[in-house]
Amino acid sequence: MNLDKNWAILKDFVGKAVHHIEAKRNAQVEAFYTSTTKTEVTIRNGDILTQNLMDDSGVGFRVATSKGKVGFACTNAMEEKAVRVAAEKAYDASKTSSEIENFAFAGRRKLPSVAGLFDKRVNEVTVEDAVDIARRAMIAAEDVDKRVIAKDGHVIFQSRWRGIHNTSGVDFEERESKCILYLVGSGKQNCEVTPGCSDSVFSRSSKLTPEKVGRNVGKMVIEMLKPKPLKSFEGTAIFSPEAVSYQPVHVLIDALKASSVMAGRSPWTKEVGNLVASSNLTIIDNSTLSGGFSSRSFDDEGSSSRATVLVDRGRLRSFLHDTTSANTLKAENTANASRSAGGFDLVKMIIGSGYRAKPEIYPSNLLIEGGRKCKEELTSELQNGVLVESMSGFPQAGSGLVSAQLSRAFYVKNGQIEHPIKNGMISGNAFDWFRQISQVGNDAKQFSSSVVPSLQVEQVKMVGL
């Protein structure tokens, strides 16, 4: 059965189940449902490990009683009875759940027109096409130099219908495509192996660029040969987009979520209107960005998408909200309910996301507004510091503490890259780093939930090992 037929059948079952619970149980109901086709190829140890074509359809119900008790249940069984049973299970779960203060479902509002969400050519991509893209990326990386080995990676083409239907008048659906190319390579010279070097493309379009990604990875690997130890010092660090997208963005997201404010975890809880970062830092969450990887016309509760200024030239303007947090904090709903939130949650890795999960607050396309100089220009002006291309290690989101291994980094002196760094670390507090940003690059890159440029930060502690 093709994706469109699956969708039409599931939509009919969902509508009947929502009406049944509303009429028979006198409760408020929400159904989030999707039909997805995904082609995925996995590269492992320099070879094609898996090549799969997967279909998945399902629905997750939330049922709320008048006392604010909310139950959840889901199913991937494409049968009318199974869908109704899942809705009944959500109702039963609501009777024993704890009360959620100020809980509400999204109300119906006009949706924005968002360009570039779906590329119909994704439906034409075969498993053989995806394998060919993977092999082309691997060949391009290894053609750079015989010391380069294309190690691991993924190629993903996904086509999806996404819908939300509730008893507050919301009944929306949207067609989406998402395409990912990710490649990791390493190199070996004189018995010394480089760290893994990676490049990626997150796109709505089927036109991935395997040769470009492969060449980038190959060049990165060669640049990491002949590393030297780093002497510990405090100075300037230029964080490339990849480095920014990991630990710093993770800390930012946690601080900006209204759920962190309600839990008392965000250090910015009482700082709206105040300076919390350098005047060089402006952050916008924009779910209407044309072609943005996480763009959408409505969030996963059915709230109408928008662009929200979160930090304006260092001054905190807003947090990220869903319907309930906006009610609780008497703020405007920023439409940031997500069923596919990122981060380091082991439970989500086990249970899954999408219709299998309840929504939580998470950014769509978290944009850091760019500056005027490219990364190369910033580096050429650096007298003594480090260019950080990637780091490994988990930050402490609430406190902002970061102690990370420098996976791919370079020592810079008098505007020139002297050598790659061996076994170095970087430590400090990300909230201090946000205040110490001296320049912002113009080289923004799209990642899964962020679009970020290079950041130049002063007074950063570099640790040699």
The predicted structure's pLDDT at residue 191: 82
Domain with CATH 3.30.2290.10 in the chain: 3-223
What tens digit of pLDDT does each residue of 7-66 get? Answer: 999 999 999 999 999 998 889 999 999 999 999 999 999 999 999 999 999 999 999 988
Within 10 angstroms of residue 59's Cβ, the number of other Cβ atoms is 29
The predicted structure's pLDDT at residue 350: 44
Q: Rounded to the nearest 5°, which phi and psi values hold at 28?
A: -90, 140
Using CA atoms, how far apart are residues 451 and 464, in angstroms rounded to an integer?
A: 31
Structure tokens at 54: 């997967």
Using CA atoms, how far apart are residues 295 and 106, in angstroms rounded to an integer?
A: 18
* Strands (DSSP E) found in 65-103: 70-75
Q: What DSSP state is assigned to residue 113?
A: P
Using CA atoms, how far apart are residues 134 and 156, in angstroms rounded to an integer?
A: 10
SS3 state at 435 = helix
Q: Which fold has domain 3-223?
A: PmbA/TldD fold (3.30.2290)
Ranges in the chain, pLDDT < 50: 344, 346-351
Using CA atoms, how far apart are residues 224 and 90, in angstroms rounded to an integer?
A: 53
Structure tokens at 214: 């492969």
Direct distance between the N- and C-terminal alpha carbons of the chain, in angstroms, rounded to an integer:
57
Q: At residue 76, what is the residue type?
A: N
Using CA atoms, how far apart are residues 102 and 390, in angstroms rounded to an integer?
A: 41
**Distant-in-sequence, close-in-space partners of 459: CB < 8 Å, separation ≥ 6:** 234, 235, 432, 436
Cβ–Cβ under 8 Å, residues 316 and 338: no
In terms of DSSP bridges, do strands 197-203 and 171-189 run parallel, antiparallel, or are they unpaired?
Answer: antiparallel
Q: At residue 427, what is the residue type?
A: S
The predicted structure's pLDDT at residue 346: 44
Using CA atoms, how far apart are residues 150 and 39, in angstroms rounded to an integer?
A: 21
Structure tokens at 396: 């402490």
Q: At residue 247, what is the residue type?
A: Q
